[in-house]
Amino acid sequence: MTTAILVSEVGPRDGLQSIAALMPLESKMAWVKAEAAAGVREIEVGSFVPAKLLPQLADTASLVQYALTIPGLTVAVLVPNLHGAQAALRAGAHKITIPLSASETHSLRNVRRTHAQMLEEVRAIAQLIRAMPPQRRPVLEGGLSTAFGCTLEGHVPSMKVIELAEALMRCGCDEVGLSDTTGYANPAQIKSLVREVQSAVGAAAVHSLHLHNTRGLGLANVLAGIEAGITTFDGSLGGLGGCPFAPGASGNIVTEDLVFMLEAMGLDTGIDLPRLLEVRSILRDSLPDEPLYGFTPAAGLPLGYTAAGGTA
Ligand code: ZN
């Protein structure tokens, strides 16, 4: 049984970091457990950032520890720097993503580091990983944020993205992901940039997209990504986190809608959609004031819906 498309849940990181409310650790554990039980094979459970910056994610180490007990689940985390990566390695995460903003203005504003300084961090992290026994080494992903445009710089030249993707690979990343942090991307741009970056660093190193649905193009961009050979897409359950710039609009792609589109198209995700829809109740109960998004959850599954794998 092959999973054609990997849906990576990032709600516990990207969703929770975007809202003020704190989700208790027990609820996060229940969320991760329920999604894994529904067939989600990769979950980004948090970020190793100082608790005073993001109190919402202060319990990331505990959540990693718990998630590692779930068989078959890839436990992913985000780290902003070497210090965070050290914590992630101690915790035993399977996959570490370090974001590098294609827009240097955004990088300076967000992490107060230039591109050169960030690449130095990446090099140091890769060195630490190489010093570990092979079977314990996590996958290191360089996540190129603002790859499709920046709220501070506007247009981000594709040459800049390609140059940084090459630099990330030279510094020791196993792969590079492209992120539409700002929800600026359109399908034509997705296809051309993915292909350009793939031809620069090799298609095998470019297989994931992190898309936002800020302007309603999230799923159209997924389709463009699939046509360009992308096989991993991030989503957030219930579109948790929303979009601070457009009230009522969702931030991340809604995982439920993403799974519905893929499965309905015959692309196997290995996810049991009716079971995934039930996981929303955990968010509703633990974050009663947060709006949850999603068209499929609101409309329900179509009569006669069959999953691509034929299981649900
Ligand atoms: Zn995001």
CATH number at residue 65: 3.20.20.70
pLDDT over 90 at 217, yes or no: yes
Tens digits of residue pLDDT in 117-138: 999 999 999 999 999 999 999 9
Average pLDDT for residues 302-307, to the nearest whole number?
A: 92
Beta strands in the chain (DSSP E): 6-9, 42-47, 74-78, 95-101, 139-145, 175-179, 208-210, 232-235
Rounded CA-CA distance 242/252 in Å is: 7
236: CA distance to ligand 1 center in Å? 9
- Tell whether 62 is covered by a domain: yes
169: CA distance to ligand 1 center in Å? 22
- Tell whether 18 is covered by a domain: yes
Closest CA to 212 of 282, 145, 260: 145
Look up the pTM and report it. 0.95
Report the percentage of the chain scoring pLDDT > 90: 88
- Tell whether 1 is covered by a domain: no
pLDDT over 50 at 106, yes or no: yes
101: CA distance to ligand 1 center in Å? 12
181: CA distance to ligand 1 center in Å? 5
243 is written with which tokens?
Answer: 């979009």
310: CA distance to ligand 1 center in Å? 31
Q: Which residues are the active-site residues?
A: 243
Rounded CA-CA distance 5/156 in Å is: 28
Average per-residue pLDDT in the chain? 94
What is the band of 151 on the pLDDT scale with cuts at 50, 70, 90? confident
Helix (H) or strand (E) holding 189: helix 187-201
Number of structural domains found in the chain? 1
- Tell whether 180 is covered by a domain: yes
Tens digits of residue pLDDT in 162-178: 999 999 999 999 999 99
